[in-house]
Structure 1
Amino acid sequence: MLAARALAPFAGRVLLVERDALPAGPEPRKGVPQARHVHQLWSGGARALEQLLPGVTGRLLAAGGTRMAVPTDMVALSPHGWFRRWGESAFLLRSSRDLLEAVVRRDVLADGRVTAVDRTEVLGLTGSRAAVTGVRLRGPDGAERTLGAGLVVDATGRGSRAPRWLAALGLPAPRRREVSSGVAYASRLFRAPGGAAEGFPVVNVQADPRGGRPGCGGVLMPVEDGRWMVTLFGSRGGEPSPEAGDFLRYAREELRHPVIAELLAGAEPLSDVAFTRTTANRRHYYERMPAWPENFAVLGDAVCALNPVYGHGMTVAAQTALAVRDLIRRRGWGSAGLARHIQRTVGRTVRTAWDLAVGSDVFYPQATETGPTLRERVTAAYVGRLMYTATGNGRIARRVTDVTSLERGAQALLAPSVLLAAAVGPLKPALDGPPLTGRERRAAGLP
């Protein structure tokens, strides 16, 4: 949807081809099973979204979403200790995926230059290895047809068939890297206790990939209508169960702290458990291919799919769409080599999120065949020191948040003042428990 919005000012007419039947409102659909798990849009993505769709943040908030100050409204246990709730340095837009998608879809389709055709599948590309001329489609009646296009954009996500389509045109396979922590996810919706239905923080118990043991974690995310969406996750050998009867036990016994289980003791379950294992980090290096056809581009998860635990997928999608819009403004619609330049721009845009995810997940057992590289080991040691420092140094916590929210690139962590602070370590003593306020504890029914 954001790719369509980014292209509309230049193309004049954009056809959005969707395999699912598009709902009228915030309803689930088959092609987005991940919507049943916790979603968040970091401020780096929210700012990109706002540039593409001015005023959309206000419309999301009016529909029931909320804006959360980070780290002020977050209770988080890192592998190096509890973070303090420093003053705001970034923010999250939090809602269900269904609500966010409905608001964005309504805005995008209000643009008369964008038309959606649903219940229709793209079968492949037409053209040659030099230039793509369109796509082959199959409609809801089973009939196939060819649709010509000046630019074809694959934004089909993790299940993209772009490598197969390119091979059919005679192009070589792109270089690909996969880092899989083996994480499985189990999520459930709850009705929040009455006093905790408004203004409650996100609660995040992070997994620890170090030590060769399964990493287990969980996130409690307040969403619209006074509900909590809770996602529990664990790597190979420590996966949560898809059984509803085991949900609270896992939160209480397997996570590094039982705070999420304690909060859920006063909440009412509203759904069964949604379970998935599709969480590997996967990167296609299309920008490095020796040849690339004109008039074809790949964006979002179809280029770089990330472990959902980091909450970066939607932010990366928004930022890549914005980067493509800005690139076309500079180079001009229909300029020679535009598709190649789009892929290079996308490759640069996803780099920070990819490095953050892989830099952690590569340390899980069996994540890759060869294990972490020397560069990844050195980088992880430095980032670990920074995270430890951030538990007791507000300035460093803000700098780390600048990067994890994708507002700044990873180079922000290499400034001399940051290097010095990492050497010194935290300035305040470690917290001995979750930094919930007295009001929050009472609202959730905790002692």
Structure 2
Amino acid sequence: MAPYESDDNTNEELRTGRRKAARYVVPVAVVGLAAATIGLVPAFAGSGDPDLPEITAEQLIEKIAASDVQQLSGTVKVSTNLGLPDLGGLESSLAPGGGGGAGGSEDEGSSADPSTKLMELASGTHTLRVAADGPDKHKVSLLDDAAEYSLIHNGDEVWAYDSASNEAFHMKDASGAAEDKGKEEEAPKDVPTTPKEMADEALKAVDDTTSVKVDGTAQVAGRDAYRLVIKPKQSGSTVGQITIAVDSKTGMPLKFTLTPASGGAAVVDAGFTKVDFSKPDASTFDFSPPKGAKVTEGDEAKAEEQARPKAEEDLGQGLEGFEGLKTIGEGWTTIARFDTGGEGIPSEAGAAGGFLDSLGTKVSGKFGSGTVFSTRLVNALITDDGQVYAGAVTKDALVKAANAAK
């Protein structure tokens, strides 16, 4: 199939479709996940490109917006290739409640707490088993070689269970009541974990700085799909392109792939390997803690967090002290700028400063000097006088922004 390129005259239609698409809550929404699920999966493996009727980018975006899949079950493969340095487990110990679980101390929180457990999705390759039946019945299970972590939303009940530590986490989903009362008391907001959720986030970026086209077809999890390709028009972005495989019948995104401008393996790629749109068995969403399981209630977790060491409290206050978050540029090359209110990372800051400094690259310019910390997608410049510039942009773009700010 030949590609169908959008032009400037269709940007308003694209934005309209994007806004509609963003309103839809994916049926496989995961309540309370606190990890960004981005991955590395071979792109669109299948039995060949299906022959489908031609469709424009505008029509495909509208098809995504109109998608209203309420019931499904399947398997999603997710991996991460951000190019982060190996910190030898340091990242997990720094996470809230890090080190909890089997063998952890009582004040380290629950290993089943979704805000900590699913930080594992930030690296490596993972398999998720998902199921949904309407807006208030969802289940996502993170499968490991010898254990399983499940997050279950059934009506106003939310359970998480970690079989490795035999710990459960329980909370009430008061989103419906909160909406009625105009309050914000509800379960934690979802983060993108399925191709649909990721696609909705990507479609929010569709504007005059974006090229959108339909570029052929694919077969994903045994289903025929269109390939929607989104690319930045601007130079300086670390994003090469985003490819979304859209089910030709239901309009539901089946696969999401983000490749970096630098080339190589995908940074973000999550896709169904199996999918079934029939109604899951009602027992799928039933859960009772196994005998002997440690159960932590959501209110207890809040109390534990409030009782954490003063060092963590001081760190939080330090973060709140950032002065005047500002943005520079627009579209895909937007850079966030803020002032830490202190110094950067001078080499004489001791062992900790030296360690952090070794992870970055020294740069200099009209702004003075500083250190750039890089991943394959997001880069950050911390100047020696405490200014921070960060975005999905190149190192040169950060230095240029810092120079222009002087």
Which TM-score applies when normalising by structure 1? 0.22
Which TM-score applies when normalising by structure 2? 0.24
Higher strand share: 2
Higher helix share: 1
